[in-house]
Chains A and B, each alone.
Chain A
Amino acid sequence: MVDLGAKAAVLGRPFARISPSLRARLGILCIALLAVLFPVIHGNDADIDAAANALSFAALALGLNIVVGFAGLLDLGYAAFFAIGAYAYGALASWQIQPHWSGFWEPFQWLDLVARVHQPTGDLVHFQVSFWLMLPISAAIAAFFGILFGAPTLRLKGDYLAIVTLGFGEIVPIVARNTPTITNGAMGLNGVIPPQIFGYSFGIKALPYYYVGVGLIAFLIFTSYRLKDSRVGRAWMAIREDEIAAGAMGVDRVRFKLLAFAIGAAFAGATGTLYVAKLQTATPDMFMFPVSVMILVMIVFGGIGNVWGVVVGAMILQILQSWILEDMSEWLHALGRLIDVDWLQRVQLASSIELIFGLILVTMMLYRRQGLIPATRRVRPLSLEEQVAQVQRGGFTSLEGLGAVDRSDSGTLLSIKGLTVRFGGLVALRSIDLTVPAHSVVAIIGPNGSGKSTLFNVMTGLVTAEGGSINFAGEEIRGLAPHRVLERGIARTFQNLRLFPGLSVLENVLVGMHARLRTGAIGALARLPWNRREEAQARERALEILALFGNRLLPRADHLAGSLSYANRRRSEIARALAASPRLLLLDEPTAGMNPAETLELVEQIKSLHQLGLTILLIEHKLDVVANLADKVIVLDHGEKIAEGTAAEVRRDPEVIRAYLGRSAAVA
Chain B
Amino acid sequence: MNYQILLQQVVNGLSLGAMYALLALGFTLVYGILELINFAHFNVFMVASFIGMWALQLLGIHGQGRVLTGFALIGVLVFAFVVTMLLSGVLGVLIERIALRPMRNVRGTAAMITTIGVSYILFNIILLTVGADAKNFPNPLPVVRWQIGGVVLEMREFLIWGIALALMVALHLFVSRTRLGKAMRATAQDSEAARMMGVDVDWVIITAFFLGSALAGAAALIFGLYYNFTSFLIGYKAGLRAFTAAVLGGIGSVTGAMLGGIAIGLVESLGGQLIAVRWTDVIIFSILVIVLVFFPSGLMGRATPNKS
- Contact of A361 with B113 in the complex, beta carbons under 8 Å: yes
- Contact of A366 with B108 in the complex, beta carbons under 8 Å: no
- Contact of A352 with B37 in the complex, beta carbons under 8 Å: no
- Contact of B121 with A170 in the complex, beta carbons under 8 Å: no
Cβ-neighbour of B306 out of A163, A289, A354, A463 (below 8 A): A463
- Contact of B308 with A462 in the complex, beta carbons under 8 Å: yes
Cβ-based interface call for B196 (8 A): no
Q: Specify the chain B residue showing the minimal Cβ separation from A363.
A: B117
- Contact of B114 with A365 in the complex, beta carbons under 8 Å: yes
Instruction: Kindly state the separation between the CA atoms of A152 and B289 in the bound complex, as whole angstroms.
Output: 8
**Which residues of chain B from 119 to 136 have a CB within 8 Å of any chain A CB?**
119-121, 123-125, 127-128
From B118, B240, B306, residue with most partner A Cβ within 10 Å: B306
- Contact of B292 with A358 in the complex, beta carbons under 8 Å: no
Cβ-neighbour of A68 out of B109, B288, B289 (below 8 A): B109
Instruction: Kindly state the separation between the CA atoms of A362 and B122 in the bound complex, as whole angstroms.
Output: 12
Cβ-based interface call for B282 (8 A): yes
Instruction: Kindly state the separation between the CA atoms of A244 and B308 in the bound complex, as whole angstroms.
Output: 7
Q: Specify the chain B residue showing the minimal Cβ separation from A482.
A: B308
- Contact of B118 with A362 in the complex, beta carbons under 8 Å: yes
Q: Specify the chain B residue showing the minimal Cβ separation from A456.
A: B308
Q: Specify the chain B residue showing the minimal Cβ separation from A362.
A: B117
**Which residues of chain A from 330 to 379 have a CB within 8 Å of any chain B CB?**
351-352, 354-355, 357-362, 365-366, 369
Cβ-neighbour of A159 out of B36, B119, B236, B285 (below 8 A): B36
Instruction: Kindly state the separation between the CA atoms of A54 and B128 in the bound complex, as whole angstroms.
Output: 25
- By a CB distance below 8 angstroms, the chain A residues around B288 are 163-164, 167
Mark A150-177 against chain B: 1 for CB-CB distance below 8 A, else 0.
Answer: 0011011011101110111011001101
> Given contacts A68-B109, A74-B109, are A361 and B124 in contact (CB under 8 A)?
no
Cβ-based interface call for B102 (8 A): yes
Cβ-based interface call for A432 (8 A): no
Instruction: Kindly state the separation between the CA atoms of A426 and B106 in the bound complex, as whole angstroms.
Output: 32
- Contact of A354 with B124 in the complex, beta carbons under 8 Å: yes
Q: Interface SS of chain B: helix, strand, loop or mixed? A: helix
Q: Specify the chain A residue showing the minimal Cβ separation from B236.
A: A289
Cβ-based interface call for A88 (8 A): no
Instruction: Kindly state the separation between the CA atoms of A171 and B99 in the bound complex, as whole angstroms.
Output: 30
From A74, A296, A357, residue with most partner B Cβ within 10 Å: A74
- Contact of B37 with A72 in the complex, beta carbons under 8 Å: no
Instruction: Kindly state the separation between the CA atoms of A300 and B120 in the bound complex, as whole angstroms.
Output: 15
- Contact of A366 with B112 in the complex, beta carbons under 8 Å: no
- By a CB distance below 8 angstroms, the chain A residues around B125 are 355
Cβ-based interface call for A293 (8 A): yes
Cβ-neighbour of A357 out of B36, B120, B247, B303 (below 8 A): B120
B297 CB to closest chain A CB (Å) equals 12
A496 CB to closest chain B CB (Å) equals 9
A381 CB to closest chain B CB (Å) equals 25
- Contact of A366 with B103 in the complex, beta carbons under 8 Å: yes
- Contact of A352 with B128 in the complex, beta carbons under 8 Å: yes
- By a CB distance below 8 angstroms, the chain B residues around A175 are 282
Cβ-neighbour of A293 out of B106, B116, B289 (below 8 A): B116
Cβ-based interface call for A641 (8 A): no
- Contact of B113 with A296 in the complex, beta carbons under 8 Å: yes
Cβ-based interface call for A457 (8 A): yes
From A177, A362, A453, residue with most partner B Cβ within 10 Å: A362
- Contact of B113 with A365 in the complex, beta carbons under 8 Å: yes
- Contact of B117 with A240 in the complex, beta carbons under 8 Å: no
Cβ-based interface call for A107 (8 A): no
Cβ-neighbour of A174 out of B116, B281, B292, B308 (below 8 A): B281
- By a CB distance below 8 angstroms, the chain A residues around B243 are 163
Instruction: Kindly state the separation between the CA atoms of A463 and B99 in the bound complex, as whole angstroms.
Output: 36
- Contact of A362 with B114 in the complex, beta carbons under 8 Å: yes
Mark B272-286 against chain A: 1 for CB-CB distance below 8 A, else 0.
Answer: 000000110110010
Cβ-based interface call for B202 (8 A): no
**Which residues of chain B from 54 to 105 have a CB within 8 Å of any chain A CB?**
99, 102-103
Cβ-based interface call for A38 (8 A): no
**Which residues of chain B from 233 to 254 have a CB within 8 Å of any chain A CB?**
236, 240, 243, 247
- By a CB distance below 8 angstroms, the chain B residues around A177 are 278
- Contact of A174 with B109 in the complex, beta carbons under 8 Å: no
- Contact of B240 with A352 in the complex, beta carbons under 8 Å: no
Instruction: Kindly state the separation between the CA atoms of A244 and B296 in the bound complex, as whole angstroms.
Output: 18
Q: Specify the chain A residue showing the minimal Cβ separation from B243.
A: A163
- Contact of B240 with A174 in the complex, beta carbons under 8 Å: no
- By a CB distance below 8 angstroms, the chain A residues around B285 are 167-168, 170-171
Cβ-based interface call for B5 (8 A): no
- By a CB distance below 8 angstroms, the chain A residues around B307 are 244
Cβ-based interface call for B35 (8 A): yes
Cβ-based interface call for A12 (8 A): no
- Contact of A240 with B108 in the complex, beta carbons under 8 Å: yes
Instruction: Kindly state the separation between the CA atoms of A190 and B35 in the bound complex, as whole angstroms.
Output: 45
From B111, B112, B113, B296, residue with most partner A Cβ within 10 Å: B113
- Contact of B116 with A167 in the complex, beta carbons under 8 Å: no
- Contact of A156 with B282 in the complex, beta carbons under 8 Å: no
**Which residues of chain B from 124 to 152 have a CB within 8 Å of any chain A CB?**
124-125, 127-128
Mark B291-308 against chain A: 1 for CB-CB distance below 8 A, else 0.
Answer: 011001000000100111
Q: Specify the chain A residue showing the minimal Cβ separation from B36.
A: A159
Instruction: Kindly state the separation between the CA atoms of A555 and B308 in the bound complex, as whole angstroms.
Output: 31
A434 CB to closest chain B CB (Å) equals 20
A374 CB to closest chain B CB (Å) equals 14
Cβ-neighbour of A354 out of B114, B120, B281 (below 8 A): B120
**Which residues of chain A from 454 to 479 have a CB within 8 Å of any chain B CB?**
457, 462-463
Cβ-based interface call for A411 (8 A): no
- Contact of A358 with B236 in the complex, beta carbons under 8 Å: no
Instruction: Kindly state the separation between the CA atoms of A162 and B116 in the bound complex, as whole angstroms.
Output: 11
- Contact of B306 with A423 in the complex, beta carbons under 8 Å: yes
Instruction: Kindly state the separation between the CA atoms of A155 and B103 in the bound complex, as whole angstroms.
Output: 25
- Contact of B279 with A355 in the complex, beta carbons under 8 Å: no
B117 CB to closest chain A CB (Å) equals 3
- Contact of B240 with A166 in the complex, beta carbons under 8 Å: yes
- Contact of B117 with A361 in the complex, beta carbons under 8 Å: yes
Instruction: Kindly state the separation between the CA atoms of A153 and B296 in the bound complex, as whole angstroms.
Output: 11
Cβ-based interface call for A424 (8 A): yes
- Contact of B292 with A171 in the complex, beta carbons under 8 Å: no
Q: Specify the chain A residue showing the minimal Cβ separation from B113.
A: A365
Instruction: Kindly state the separation between the CA atoms of A462 and B288 in the bound complex, as whole angstroms.
Output: 26
Q: Specify the chain B residue showing the minimal Cβ separation from A156.
A: B292
- By a CB distance below 8 angstroms, the chain B residues around A359 are 117, 121
- Contact of B112 with A155 in the complex, beta carbons under 8 Å: no
- By a CB distance below 8 angstroms, the chain A residues around B112 are 74, 159, 162
Instruction: Kindly state the separation between the CA atoms of A159 and B308 in the bound complex, as whole angstroms.
Output: 18
Instruction: Kindly state the separation between the CA atoms of A166 and B235 in the bound complex, as whole angstroms.
Output: 14
- By a CB distance below 8 angstroms, the chain A residues around B308 are 244, 453, 457, 462-463
- By a CB distance below 8 angstroms, the chain B residues around A289 are 236
- Contact of B120 with A361 in the complex, beta carbons under 8 Å: yes
B3 CB to closest chain A CB (Å) equals 28
- By a CB distance below 8 angstroms, the chain A residues around B128 are 351-352, 355
- Contact of B109 with A296 in the complex, beta carbons under 8 Å: no
- By a CB distance below 8 angstroms, the chain A residues around B102 are 366
Instruction: Kindly state the separation between the CA atoms of A68 and B279 in the bound complex, as whole angstroms.
Output: 30
- By a CB distance below 8 angstroms, the chain A residues around B124 are 352, 354-355, 358
- Contact of B293 with A358 in the complex, beta carbons under 8 Å: no
- Contact of A362 with B292 in the complex, beta carbons under 8 Å: no
Q: Which 3 A-B pairs have the closest CB atoms?
A: A361-B117, A358-B120, A355-B124
A-B contact pairs, 25 of them (CB 8 A): A68-B109, A72-B109, A74-B113, A153-B289, A153-B293, A159-B109, A160-B292, A163-B288, A164-B292, A171-B285, A174-B278, A174-B281, A177-B278, A354-B120, A354-B124, A355-B124, A355-B125, A355-B128, A357-B120, A358-B117, A358-B123, A361-B117, A366-B99, A423-B306, A463-B306
Beyond A156-B296, A164-B288, A359-B121, 10 extra complex contacts between A and B, CB < 8 Å: A68-B109, A74-B112, A152-B289, A162-B112, A164-B292, A168-B285, A178-B278, A296-B113, A358-B123, A462-B308
Residues of A at the B interface (CB closer than 8 Å) are 68, 72, 74, 76, 152-153, 155-156, 158-160, 162-164, 166-168, 170-171, 174-175, 177-178, 240, 244, 289, 293, 296, 300, 351-352, 354-355, 357-362, 365-366, 369, 423-424, 453, 457, 462-463
